[in-house]
A and B are shown apart, each in its own frame.
Chain A
Amino acid sequence: MSLVFDRPLLSEQLTMAATEVLETMFFASVDTASDEAESPVGDRIGASLDFHGACAGRLALSLDRATAEGLASNFFGGVGEGGAEEDSQSVMVELTNMVCGAMLSHLDRNSIFCLDTPKQLEPGQEPTGEIVRDLSLEDGLLRLAFSLQESAPKVDAH
């Protein structure tokens, strides 16, 4: 079975997966979620991850650096030996991994997906994809982008 490109469903699942991960492991809440709005500004960092298996695609996200440092502090319970910069980079990678895994698992519980190792985005690079969602956190904006390969069947149900 492969995923069907149902934009509203994927958009909803993307938001749900990110919210679940943020609340459970980073003790952060999502205030609002919306489709891509204005281009985020400021000093931002991000990561992306390719997945394959029943279906292939990519998930990427970005966050302003200060918020990433706050999430890292929540995740680790303090700042590590490598400092806040290293912590925030590694947390972005973990956040990407967990959001992607949670989303795919919710979408198709009967297939096996393999997640590649997440990669950091270049400084200033914002994630792009067929579906882009902006999640407003307490003091920052998390941008999520999700794409399926063209082989994924598309439906126009909405």
Chain B
Amino acid sequence: MLSGMESRTVAWQPIADTPVAYLREGDETHPPLDSPAYKSTLLRHPRAPLLYLPQTLSEISGPALGAAARLGPLDHDLTRQHAGAPIGERLIVQGRVLDGEGKPLRGTLVEIWQANAAGRYLHKRDHWDAPLDPNFSGAGRCLTDDDGRYRFVTVKPGPYPWGNHHNAWRPAHIHFSLLGRAFAQRLVTQMYFPGDPFFPYDPIFNAVRDERARERLIAAFNVHETVPQWAQCYEFDIVLRGPAATPFEEEL
């Protein structure tokens, strides 16, 4: 558990271009809730169709949690949260948080969590027989800067077995949580690494039906930002849905 994020009010910062509605998304982007190959969906997906919810002030506003977050100085660096360095390949994981028009989302909270290099989570219900690392908790937080950029330092998570089907293994991944600037933009996702051999067999990754959409979950190795003698860099841009076209634009 990270420290900070006390409740307190923040100065009001009105932004002139706050969207009044967000683009509604089709089925090709997000995975269907009923995805039978991922067995945990069987009893957890609603059977009734989702009902249309208009986007009112409730849906187009969003928490000031980002600005109110009292971030610890090492919350973004998962390799320096303990007395020693964690085992594993040191990584810089960085990117931009954008909306669907390509505009950077500044000051928005990015939260990550992940397994250690052996594929083990520091969680009471993870019983996989792989070692915990006393120097790795696996959680990080940061706010995007004025260009919508975030940056974490961590180690590469290992793949790990799970019980979904015979010989099931999750591809190595880092969980990402994004608040965006509106309730309508809230997103939780997973970042994967290029060329993972478990991709063809993973029902969670493949629940995203469109191949191009799946590719948007895979980080890119960035040799230019890789730091000599120190850490590999992976780049992962995240796009939250953007403003809906105005009625005027729809008429054209």
Q: Decide whether A and B are members of one complex.
A: no
Interface residues, chain B, with chain A CB atoms under 8 Å away: none
- Which A residues are within 8 Å of any B CB, using their own CB? none
